[in-house]
């Protein structure tokens, strides 16, 4: 009988099932690990409200963390007990809350922003301008695809943003020319990849009659060539080559190899 997954693996699986972002997953797993180590590696099922209160108070009093940091740790622990262990914690009334000081935000003027961006160069400068002009988060900018940039409406569609939600934001007019030039460079690089033999896809349709509940059924198999296809972002970044996924029903060594690989291939989106 297979051993059950470890606690932190269960936390990761539940977070991904709930469509939490990768940054939230990393933060929650880290706080849960700290919580367990703080109490001498005791299992969370053997702990409860007093241990949670002690850990949160330690963060505020000894570690002197910010209020937002303490709240993040609390959210991670509550997720562990409610979503993973299936337990509801009692109301925490003996926690020393971290103070949330009132701060006046520092807002840069337009001239200061131009001076700051002017000190940057290369891809980092281009990404910084998109972050500032479109109001994107860092990972939203990194994952931005060409198909989500609309020059006609001067807008960007953000896919799977925070909370696993899509939204539409503006595309600054000052970025049109640079972005179009950059896309032409990406297309040229993609064309070179095609000429070098990368990105080729072969679709093989084979009908294989099967019997299910007394009725014949025709199976459709899609077979990809062994040459790697690359997924490119709008900023021209090249992802790692995807793995081949063959038809397990095709038989032979290739079919058996494909049955062991469940990762689908992501094709490049290069047309604006």
Paired with 156 in beta bridges are 149, 169
d(CA 208, CA 247): 12
How confident is the model over 86-90, as a mean pLDDT?
Answer: 89
pLDDT tens track for 214-237: 444 444 444 444 444 444 455 555
pLDDT band at 202 (very low <50, low <70, confident <90, very high): low
How confident is the model over 42-66, as a mean pLDDT?
Answer: 93
CATH classification code of 7-84:
1.10.150.130
Q: What pLDDT, on a 0 to 100 scale, did the predictor assign at position 162? A: 77
DSSP 8-state code for residue 199: S
Instruction: Count CB neighbours of 149 within 10 A.
Output: 21
Q: Coil, strand, or helix at residue 200?
A: coil
Q: In degrees rounded to 5, what are phi and psi of residue 141?
A: -70, -40
Token pair in block for residue 185: 């460079």
How confident is the model over 24-33, as a mean pLDDT?
Answer: 96
High-pLDDT (> 70) share of the chain, %: 72
Instruction: Count CB neighbours of 266 within 10 A.
Output: 12
pLDDT band at 2 (very low <50, low <70, confident <90, very high): low
High-pLDDT (> 90) share of the chain, %: 39
- In the chain, what are the helix, strand and coil shares in percent, each to the nearest 5? 45, 5, 45
pLDDT band at 257 (very low <50, low <70, confident <90, very high): very low
Which positions ≥6 away from 14 have C-beta within 8 Å? 79, 83, 84
Q: What pLDDT, on a 0 to 100 scale, did the predictor assign at position 122? A: 85
d(CA 192, CA 76): 46
Better pLDDT: 162 or 23: 23
Token pair in block for residue 66: 């910010």
d(CA 133, CA 114): 12
CATH 3.60.15.10 fits 110-193, yes or no: no
Q: Tell me where in the chain the CATH 1.10.443.10 domain(s) lie.
A: 110-193
How confident is the model over 229-246, as a mean pLDDT?
Answer: 46
Q: In degrees rounded to 5, what are phi and psi of residue 52?
A: -65, -45
Residue from 87, 90, 8, 99 nearest 53 by CA: 90
Q: Tell me where in the chain the CATH 1.10.150.130 domain(s) lie.
A: 7-84
Is 245 a residue whose pLDDT tops 90? no
Task: Kindly tell me the burial class for residue 237, based on how many C-beta atoms sit within 10 Å of its own C-beta (0-12, 13-18, 19 or more).
Answer: middle
How confident is the model over 140-163, as a mean pLDDT?
Answer: 88
Alpha helices in the chain (DSSP H): 7-17, 22-38, 49-61, 67-79, 110-118, 122-134, 138-142, 176-195, 252-259
């Amino acid at each position: 009988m297979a051993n059950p997954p470890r606690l932190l693996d269960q936390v990761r699986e539940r977070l991904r099932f709930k469509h939490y972002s990768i940054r939230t997953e990393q933060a929650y797993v880290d706080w849960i690990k700290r919580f367990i180590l703080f109490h001498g590696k005791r299992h969370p099922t053997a702990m409860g409200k007093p241990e949670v209160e002690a850990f949160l108070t330690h963060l505020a009093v000894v570690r002197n963390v910010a209020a937002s940091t303490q709240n993040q740790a609390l959210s991670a622990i509550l997720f562990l007990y409610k979503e993973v262990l299936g337990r509801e914690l009692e109301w925490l009334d003996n926690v020393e809350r971290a103070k949330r000081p009132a701060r006046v935000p520092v807002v840069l003027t337009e001239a200061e922003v131009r001076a700051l961006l002017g000190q940057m160069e290369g891809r980092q400068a281009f990404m910084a301008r998109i972050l500032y002009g479109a109001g994107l988060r860092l990972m939203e900018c990194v994952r931005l695809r060409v198909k989500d940039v609309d020059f006609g409406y001067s807008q960007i569609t953000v896919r799977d943003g925070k909370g696993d939600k899509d939204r539409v934001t503006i595309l600054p007019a000052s970025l049109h020319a640079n972005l179009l030039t950059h896309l032409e460079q990406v297309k040229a690089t993609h064309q070179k990849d095609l000429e070098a033999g990368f990105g080729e896809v072969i679709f093989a349709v084979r009908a294989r009659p099967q019997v299910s509940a007394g009725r014949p059924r025709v199976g459709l198999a899609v077979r990809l060539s062994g040459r790697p296809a690359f997924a490119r972002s709008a900023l021209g970044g090249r992802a790692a080559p995807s793995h081949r996924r063959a038809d397990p029903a095709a038989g032979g060594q290739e079919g058996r190899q494909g049955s062991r690989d469940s990762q689908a291939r992501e094709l490049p989106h290069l047309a604006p």
